[in-house]
Amino acid sequence: MSHTAPPPTGTSRSRWTALAVLSAAMLMTILDGSIVTVAMPAIQQDLGFSPAGLSWTVNAYLIAFGGLLLLAGRLGDLIGRKAMFLAGNAVFTAASLLAGAATGPGMLIAARFLQGIGSAMASAVVLGILVTLFTEPRDRAKAIGVFSFTGAAGASIGQVLGGVLTDALNWHWIFFINLPIGLATIALAIRVLPGERGAGLAAGADVIGAVLVTGGLMLGIYTVVKIEQYGWLGPHTLGLGAVSLVLLAAFVARQATARTPLMPLRIFRSRNVSGANLVQMLTLSAMFAFQIIVALYMQKVLGYGALDTGLAMLPAAVAIGGVSLFVSARLNTRFGARAVLLAGLVLLLGAMGRLTRVPVDADYVTDLLPVMLLIAGGGLVLPALTTLGMSGAKADDAGLASGLFNTTQQIGMAVGVAVLSTLAASRTEELLSAGESQAAALTGGYHLAFGVAAALLLAAFAVALIVLRQPGTDTPVQDAAPAEPAVQRPAGRLPRPSHPDISHDRDRLSATSRTGWPAR
């Protein structure tokens, strides 16, 4: 049994109101992520976290969120994406109340895990709802641009707002602020989001597959985020990594043979679905170098405070948001998403290239501000990737494609956290042993991270150039051998769906890597 999402109903105004509701929900979760990073020292002091335990205020969220996205996306297709969105926001809002009321480390970590579950449920289906609401290429490009702007705005606002709330009130309010936003979002979503019938759990309730993929992803993300602590070749890393790979391999085998697979493998026959997800993983792994390493450089080398760092990075967020909101849609419509993606990657490559030469005594205006402006390429990259990644999915699989897209985001960010921070820490230790000053050693470590990030972006450019095709030329894959000839729709009308400071600061700031881009 399959189901086809109904065509968008209601007026054009109601569709844009629905987009505002979807964006508000994502803004809430993005705000939460970036606010936590600047409030972590206060949380540690108040609740008595150990340095290692404090990292779990980030990792508990990351593991639950990344591990459940794929399952949540498929369940959205089966029970209805609106129902999944509402349930996810309800869980997230309730978990925010629990987190704000936390009186000990265990209570806060449990609440953060529940927040990750709620975020996965809501985030996994947002793009699926968006692409079925906006079927016209021009309107879809505008909607994706607005959605991308929400991510950039949420990240920058969160960094500043977190410092203000923590200083003016206390850290509890970084979670309590979600309550009015969450309740208003739920109330409006009930009214403005289009209702739909899912295919039903019998059409794809692969329980065994769900257990395999959720366990594999959660274990894999846990292994990646703990690499810096246990090392690349440590028994802990190798053992858990092997188990994670076995679970994921078993999941793939299960999907190839199950009668009602959780993730039909046909989705990967689309060049755009497969290629866009790979490009996204490479790009977001590289962008960790900007989101986190630049912040560490400002604080540890240049001596900036947390609030000063947020303000210093504000031009980048404004540039990304402005480009995604006012420029990307027009460029995507005129030149095509593939060409815009390639141009955005070139700008990001230029930013990383400049960062590989940033000095110990950098001047913000001459050395860092140009980087902040070149990062505007991110405002071109993500809307184009979203358009390409969702263009290859059938309407029935829009929630699955959305969940997959968000899952590869999380994998890319987690890999970036592990690889680039570990390389920077190792290089810093080498330079300290060679007699370099702490500032020079840290800068040298960061230079290596920026260089590796540039290499990842170059790989992303090559994949995009070779694999991706302009939407409309990469036809969504249909189910095998229908009983009657499939009706071909016009392509343009298809609803598409270490060093002592580095480890601690990585944990304190790593959530930023999840929040500088629209999707969590």
- Which of these, 462, 453, 518, lies nearest to 287 by C-alpha position? 453
Residue the block writes with tokens 């990842």: 456
Per-residue pLDDT, 49? 76
Least confident of 20-29, 246-255, 375-384, 495-504: 495-504
Looking at residue 451, its pLDDT comes to 94
Please report, in angstroms and rounded to a whole number, the separation of the first and last CA atoms in the chain.
Answer: 31
Cβ-proximal residues to 207 (8 Å cutoff; 6+ apart), any chain: none
Number of Cβ within 10 Å of residue 477's Cβ equals 18
What per-residue confidence (pLDDT) applies to 203? Answer: 58
Question: Has residue 188 got a pLDDT over 70?
Answer: yes
Torsion of CA 265, 270, 273, 275, to 10 degrees: 110
pLDDT digits (tens, 9 = 90+) for 251-286: 889 888 887 777 778 778 888 888 998 999 899 888
Task: For residue 166, name the pLDDT band (cuts at 50, 70, 90).
Answer: low
pLDDT in tens, 84-126: 999 999 999 999 999 989 888 889 989 998 998 998 888 888 8
Report the pLDDT value the prediction gives residue 14, as an integer from 0 to 100. Answer: 79
- Looking at residue 195, what is its pLDDT? 72
At 347 the pLDDT is 95
Q: Report pTM.
A: 0.71
Q: Look at residue 348 in the predicted model and tell me its pLDDT.
A: 94
Q: Is the pLDDT of residue 75 over 90?
A: no
Q: Is the pLDDT of residue 400 over 80?
A: no
Q: 362 or 169, which is more confident?
A: 362
The tens digit of pLDDT for each residue in 122-154 reads: 888 887 788 778 877 777 777 877 777 776 666
Residue 391 has pLDDT above 90, yes or no: no
* Lowest pLDDT segment from 1-5, 154-158, 316-320: 1-5
**What per-residue confidence (pLDDT) applies to 508?**
42
Instruction: Note the pLDDT tens digit of each residue in 308-333.
Output: 777 888 888 788 878 877 888 788 88
User: Measured on CA atoms in the order 116, 169, 162, 185, is the torsion positive or negative?
Assistant: positive
- What pLDDT was estimated at residue 206? 74
Confidence of residue 7 (pLDDT cuts 50, 70, 90): very low
Give the residue, 157 or 77, on which the prediction is more confident.
77
Using a pLDDT cut of 90, give the percent of the chain over it: 18
What is residue 460's predicted lDDT score, i.e. its pLDDT? 95
Please give the pLDDT value at position 216: 84
pLDDT band at 368 (very low <50, low <70, confident <90, very high): very high
Crossing angle for the helix pair 81-100 and 105-133, to the nearest 10 degrees: 150
**Could you give the CA distance from residue 475 to residue 452 in angstroms, rounded to a whole number?**
35
Number of H helices, E strands in the chain: 22, 0
Three-state secondary structure of 147-211 = HHHHHHHHHHHHHHHHHHHHHHCCCCHHHHCHHHHHHHHHHHHHHHCCCCCCCCHHHCCCHHHHH
Q: Is the dihedral of CA 67, 86, 187, 189 positive or negative?
A: positive
The mean per-residue pLDDT over the stretch 55-81 comes to 78
Tell me how far apart the alpha carbons of residues 300 and 302 are, in angstroms, rounded to a whole number: 6
- The mean-pLDDT minimum among 11-20, 169-178, 195-204 falls in 195-204
Closest-CA residue to 122 (of 409, 402, 390): 402
- In this prediction, residue 496 carries a pLDDT of 39
Q: Find the mean pLDDT for residues 406-427.
A: 79
What is the model's pLDDT at position 486? 40
What's residue 341's pLDDT? Answer: 93
Choose between 414 and 192: higher pLDDT.
192
pLDDT for 33 equals 64
- Provide the 8-state DSSP code for 434: T
Answer yes or no: are the C-beta atoms of 360 and 438 closer than 8 Å.
no
Between residues 249 and 20, which one has the greater pLDDT? 249
| Per-chain mean pLDDT for the chain | 77
